[in-house]
Structure 1
């Protein structure tokens, strides 16, 4: 879900990153990561001294949680956006000043590291932005030692369902899916993790759902996830959807208003992330 934690694109298709690089988006990514930290990072920890690559670290929203769960790791955080890396460095300096982090500015398809340089690879909300996620996984497998693990987390906008159900809200979410596809990405990639990893040559692939369910019994989650994470992400592509001729201002705004009803009293919102772990044989 980009929810868009990361900013990796490949030079083979330098299409626009649909979520943008604004300070508002950076704040949204941080809020999202904090809200979902327990859900997404549970079960992921690496021994002290492990060489870990975070591919597509973006603004460091996931980086600080990765470091908190695995103190003492030797982390290399890589991203294509120099601006995002600068924000990530500031975030880590403020929240994990003792961490050992090496920062790399570059494309994950062309990492300047030797074969088998890392014990573990971690990426969250990255594959959804790649025109060829299989090629990205192959590049990451090269720098992962035999027996090392890769952890991949992605969303799937097709898993979003809500009450009250609304065709207008559904169409507005679909605008984001179409825009991401037009930029060379796939907002529905969560369902593809198992075949992608197995085709890339990884073994012992396991994929498990991590589901968010927000309703009146969890008002804080309805605010933090439904509104500040998901609805804010969809609402942020308004200008792109209008420019692409996908909708009208009135229709888009109506869809957002309908989507917001899921966070109101009596509303519910549900979304599934997919977390995969695999081994480089």
Structure 2
């Protein structure tokens, strides 16, 4: 798996800006009971781990990550006593089955997300739950409309090793991986000038920064020319309204 956004400090900052902007939207209904064993698969720099640990202070959370660079940042940033970090690939990680599994912004980067879900199912006890959160880059809408901005977004969609529009696929993916009682809920972010904190944290520091981060590989790959890409980034930054939809799936292991 190649992480298209890279592991530079700027990307770490973007992930934390994103997590901070989306805490209530994505996490308000995720909390695990005392004594639960929870696996966070693909914790990255710990941006979501902070909220997981805070919302479930008496659960025991094991957060795994394949990238040593990201894991080092997570270990430094997350000091919650109920979190243990391990460097591991979810396809080879071994442990006793967990009560709950949490996966956020991971499947979109995998060439075979179905295989990942099947593997995670083996790490979940019967009766346990899995929570999967993914975005869908095809759900980005903004005003004023901009063909250049859409072209810049399309560069990321083409460069990503997995599926940048995976959010819309969560129900069939999770169902076909063998989980039961699959419930998917859309979580839409809507931003306009009446929400200046979201303009800064989401439109600029999360979404626009994410697209801007693929400028170099997009130009190197001949996907777009520099002027067109930069025009798109400028148009994204200047949007008057912006919306984007995340999808959250919760399911059980029968």
TM over 0.5: yes
Report what 1:4 is aligned to: none
- Of 225, 233, 246, 1:273 maps to 246
Report what 2:65 is aligned to: 79
- Of 179, 190, 200, 2:159 maps to 179
Question: What CA deviation, in whole Å up to 9, does each residue of 1:54-92 have, x standing for no partner?
Answer: 000000000000011101111100010111111111111
Shift of 1:101: 2.0
Unaligned runs of 5+ in 1: 1-8, 10-15
1:159 aligned onto 2:139: yes
1:248 aligned onto 2:225: yes
Mapped partners of 2:68, 2:156: distance in 1: 25
Mapped partners of 1:105, 1:220: distance in 2: 34
Report what 1:131 is aligned to: 111
1:237 aligned onto 2:237: no
Indicate if the aligned counterparts of 2:57 and 2:82 stay in contact, CA closer than 8 A.
no
Counterpart mapping for 1:46-65 below 5 A: 46-65=32-51
- Of 23, 33, 37, 2:19 maps to 33
Shift of 1:100: 2.1
Unaligned runs of 5+ in 2: none
Mapped partners of 1:224, 1:247: distance in 2: 27
Shift of 1:166: 0.8
- Of 111, 123, 128, 1:148 maps to 128
Report what 1:214 is aligned to: 191
Mapped partners of 1:165, 1:103: distance in 2: 43
Indicate if the aligned counterparts of 2:170 and 2:249 stay in contact, CA closer than 8 A.
yes
Question: What CA deviation, in whole Å up to 9, does each residue of 1:113-166 have, x standing for no partner?
Answer: 14xx20000010000011000000011000100000000000000000000001
Question: What CA deviation, in whole Å up to 9, does each residue of 1:238-260 have, x standing for no partner?
Answer: 00100110011111101111111
Question: Number of paired residues?
Answer: 254
1:43 aligned onto 2:29: yes
Mapped partners of 2:94, 2:251: distance in 1: 23
1:102 aligned onto 2:84: yes
Mapped partners of 1:123, 1:188: distance in 2: 16
Greater Cα shift, 212-221 or 148-157: 212-221
Matched residue SS, 1:109: coil
Mapped partners of 2:212, 2:223: distance in 1: 14
Mapped partners of 2:127, 2:103: distance in 1: 18
Report what 1:112 is aligned to: 94
Shift of 1:38: 0.8
